Structure 1
Amino acid sequence: MIVRDFNKIIEDERNRVVKDANWSSVRMLLAEDGMNFSFHITFLEAGSEHTFHYKHHFESVYCMQGKGTVTDNGTGETHEIKPGVMYALNLHDNHTVRADEELVMACCFNPPVTGNEVHREDGSYAPAEEENA
C-alpha cells in the first residue's frame, strides 16, 4: 500500500513538485511507484492559457476548484471546466486550457510520468522509451 501526504510532499519531497510557466504540479504517484499510471494535483494560475498535446500519453483531469475552459483544438469545441467536471484525452487530443480562476485539478497519466518530463514545443512529453533512454 502506498500512502502519501500532499503537504509532506510539498515540504520534504521537492523532486515531486514540478513548475512551469503559470502552472505547478504535485506528483503524488510516479512511474517509479509501479502503478502503471501517475497521479498529480495540478494548479493553473488564474488568467493563464496552456496548450498541450500529449501524443504519447493518455490523461484524465478532474476539476476540484476554480473555473475555466478546455478547447479541443482539432474540432474547435469548447467545454466549461468547474468543480465536478472531468475531461479525458482519450484520442491524444491537442487541447487548450484557459483558467478564468485558479484551477486545481486531479490528473492521471498513462503511461505514468517520471517527474522529469519537460513539455516539448508541440505541447507533448517525450515517449517513455525516450525519457528513459
Structure 2
Amino acid sequence: MQACLCIARLTFTAATTLFALHVQGGKPNIQKELNMFVRSIRDVEKTDFFVEWGSGTSHRLLTEQDGVGFTLCHTVVRAGTESLLHYRNHLEACYCIGGEGEIEDMEGTIHAIRPGDMYVLDKHDRHYLRGGKFTDLILVSVFNPPLAGTERHSINNQSASSY
C-alpha cells in the first residue's frame, strides 16, 4: 500500500517549504520540493490573470507558471448571461460557492447549480453555462492541464467559445 504525506516547514522569513513525501515500504522518499505561497484575489486583480471572459470574470489564482499541474480560478458568471463553451484542451471541474445558475449539456439536460454543487466536464463537453436569473453564479474552477492564465472566450462567436 502506498500513501502520500505532505509536510510544511516554516522558516523565520515566513517562507514555507512544502515537501511531498512518498512512503513506500515504510521509508519516505522525497519526490519534489515546492515553495508554498499565498495569493489573494486582490493580488490577481492587478495582473493579466484577472480576466473578463465575456459573461463574467475569472481570477486565475494558479496557472501553468506556478508548476502545480492544474489551474485554480475564482469564476463569476453574471446574472442573466448564457455562454456556449467548449474546452477542447482542458478538463474542468467547478464547485459553486455562491449565487445560482445552471449548466446544460448538448442533449438539452439542464442542471441547476447552487452553493455546495459541483459539476465536471470530463470529456471536453460543449455546454451552456448560465448565471442565475437575478444573481451571479460564483464558482471555484479547476482546469487540467493548467491554463497559461490569460486565455479569453469569444462569447459572440456562433460556435462554442473555446481554448
Q: Same fold per TM (> 0.5)? A: yes
Is 1:2 aligned to 2:37, yes or no? yes
Is 1:89 aligned to 2:121, yes or no? yes
Is 1:43 aligned to 2:43, yes or no? no
* Normalised TM-score (structure 2): 0.71
Q: Which runs of 5+ in 2 are unaligned?
A: 1-35
Q: Which runs of 5+ in 1 are unaligned?
A: 126-133
Question: How many Å apart are 1:83 and its aligned residue?
Answer: 0.3
Match of 2:99 in 1: 66
Structure with greater helix percent: 1
Match of 1:118 in 2: 152
Question: How many Å apart are 1:14 and its aligned residue?
Answer: 2.1
Structure with higher Rg: it is 2
Number of aligned residues: 122
Question: How many Å apart are 1:8 and its aligned residue?
Answer: 2.8
RMSD: 1.3
* Normalised TM-score (structure 1): 0.85
Q: How far apart, CA to CA, are the structure 2 residues paired with 1:2 and 1:14?
A: 17
Q: Is 2:93–2:118's contact at 8 Å kept on the other side of the alignment? A: yes
Question: How many Å apart are 1:109 and its aligned residue?
Answer: 0.4
Is 1:16 aligned to 2:49, yes or no? yes
